[in-house]
Amino acid sequence: YASVPTASASRTFPCTPIMTANRRVAVIGAGASGLSAARALRQEGHSVAVFERAAGIGGTWIYSTVVESDHLNTDPNRKIVHSSLYDSLRTNLPRESMGFFDYPFVAVAGEEDCRRFPGHREVLRYLEDFARESGLYGLIRFGVEVVRVEMEGEGRWAVVSRRVVGGGGGGADESEVFDGVVVCVGHYTEPRVAEIPGIDSWPGKQMHSHNYRVPEPFQGQVVVIIGSAASATDISKDIAGLAKEVHIASRSAPGGTPMKDPAHANIFTHSMIVKAFADGTVLFQDGSSAFVDVIMHCTGYKYHFPFLKTNGIVNVDDNRVGPLYKHVFPPLLAPYLSFIGLTTKIIPFPMFQLQSKWIAGVLSGRIVLPTQEEMMEDVKNLYSEMQSAGWPKRYTHNIENYHFEYANWLAGECGHPQVEEWRKLMYYANRKNRAAKPDRYRDEWDDDDLVKEAYEHFKNIFI
């Protein structure tokens, strides 16, 4: 169904299979995490089938102008649009640090977008190159959605799938048995929405950033954006050129008076919304109010695995997926069920690779997990540490405070080199630069020494 894209560059990378015990493994999803899982599993000697409901690889990075019919995404029967990308989106990580360890995300001569923080189409191009050059296309069943995953016995999983794209769609369900299942379905599709007192009688339009694509529909409008993460920041600036006013309502904003954005005369930051009124007004905690046309919830997403039937062994509770040992294995179902890509506030692609290698090695028996009791103890310790620190459950997979320790722990487990020092330093340099220059960090930076170091490192990969 998806044709293999033509080569845009020729790269080489090591791809020698390692001999290990062979299992039949189903990977659900062919985004960046599913691709890295498929590659690592195959390298370890497993046989792999990747189920992907879309017609191509890339997951989040497949931009679509289509939005969901229910703009707040609360209707359980709505037709799902997977990606949350907006047209103007550029990466928020520099490409050198963002790429896979052994497949650098370098600009390719002749390609249109050579920027250090490229647009989303360039990321998709990179992932397509990665999949093609790693020989992964043949492993992927495109247009096939997994509708149920159920354990049939120790290490036996029934994977029930349905054709949704091509072949007429709506075909009969098919069931197949696998030794292991790796869940790689992403977590930026099922929106979380803020609760606003009085919203039921408020006459304006509400939407989630999942359905934001371009600024034109907001011409001359007064828009409230709820949230303070990357998409809230980007979208407020994207809209400000056309909208009359943009009001950001952010939990992390100080109280007092609204703050005017130094670079945009029509962007105001407030503390949270107190109430929305039937006359169209929205009142903020700082005492100011505005007559508002649109409220956009940039309030994040929920982990959602509607197909997964584990008899209550794995649950999602206030956005905590658990219990999971090191955010990957449910102790009672390990190693036969695993998750890639749940952690947030990280550098995603290299992290996916480490999790993939760990899973592949554990499934083959090359890497040994602790006992179920020990894994459960580890999970409990994490939960009680979070509780003592007053850290809400919904931040369980936010590993910002121990990102590189976690990555290096994984690397140690699977015999992978530790995260390169330049990558770590670049991550922190970018974070600092972004805080200092929120409008310009993608085009002005002062870590060229690290860029040089990264390219020196890449030379050893491309030989």
Tell me the residue type at 460: N
Please say which residue, 118 or 331, places its beta carbon nearer to ligand FAD.
118
Spatial distance between the Cα atoms of 342 and 183, rounded to a whole number of angstroms: 10
CB of 244 to ligand FAD, least distance (A): 25
CB of 281 to ligand FAD, least distance (A): 30
Please say which residue, 36 or 266, places its beta carbon nearer to ligand FAD.
36
Tell me the residue type at 295: I
- The full length of the chain comes to 463
CB of 53 to ligand FAD, least distance (A): 4
Which position has the token pair 């998806």? 2
Please say which residue, 266 or 433, places its beta carbon nearer to ligand FAD.
433
CB of 228 to ligand FAD, least distance (A): 15
Spatial distance between the Cα atoms of 428 and 403, rounded to a whole number of angstroms: 11
CB of 143 to ligand FAD, least distance (A): 9
Q: Is residue 396 left, alpha or beta, with left meaning phi > 0 and alpha meaning psi from -120 to 50?
A: alpha
Burial 254-269 (b: 16+ CB within 10 A, else e): eeeebbebeeeebbbb
Take residue 332 and report the two structure tokens written for it: 């009672």
CB of 52 to ligand FAD, least distance (A): 5
CB of 374 to ligand FAD, least distance (A): 27
Which positions lie near ligand FAD, rule CB under 6 A?
28-34, 51-54, 59-61, 82, 84-85, 89, 91-93, 98, 145-146, 184-186, 188, 231, 307, 341, 348-349
Q: Smallest Cα–Cα separation from 212: which of 60, 70, 71? A: 71
CB of 384 to ligand FAD, least distance (A): 28
Please say which residue, 32 or 48, places its beta carbon nearer to ligand FAD.
32
Please say which residue, 62 or 240, places its beta carbon nearer to ligand FAD.
62
Please say which residue, 146 or 333, places its beta carbon nearer to ligand FAD.
146
Residue 194 and residue 217 in contact, taking contact as beta carbons nearer than 8 Å: no
Instruction: Determine which helix (DSSP H) or strand (DSSP E) holds 433, and give its type and residue range.
Output: helix 421-436
How many CA atoms lie within 13 Å of 222's alpha carbon, on the beta-carbon side?
11
Spatial distance between the Cα atoms of 321 and 379, rounded to a whole number of angstroms: 11
CB of 290 to ligand FAD, least distance (A): 26
Provide the sign of the torsion angle of the four alpha carbons 30, 211, 116, 438, taken in this order.
negative
Please say which residue, 51 or 445, places its beta carbon nearer to ligand FAD.
51
CB of 80 to ligand FAD, least distance (A): 9
Q: Which residues have C-beta within 8 Å of that of residue 456, sequence separation ≥ 6?
A: none
Instruction: Determine which helix (DSSP H) or strand (DSSP E) holds 150, and give its type and residue range.
Output: strand 144-153
Spatial distance between the Cα atoms of 434 and 92, rounded to a whole number of angstroms: 9
SS (H, E, C) 192-238: CCCCCCCHHHCCCEEEEHHHCCCCHHHCCCEEEEECCCHHHHHHHHH
Please say which residue, 161 or 206, places its beta carbon nearer to ligand FAD.
161
| Chain Cα centroid distance, residue 6 | 26
Please say which residue, 225 or 290, places its beta carbon nearer to ligand FAD.
225
Please say which residue, 383 or 395, places its beta carbon nearer to ligand FAD.
395
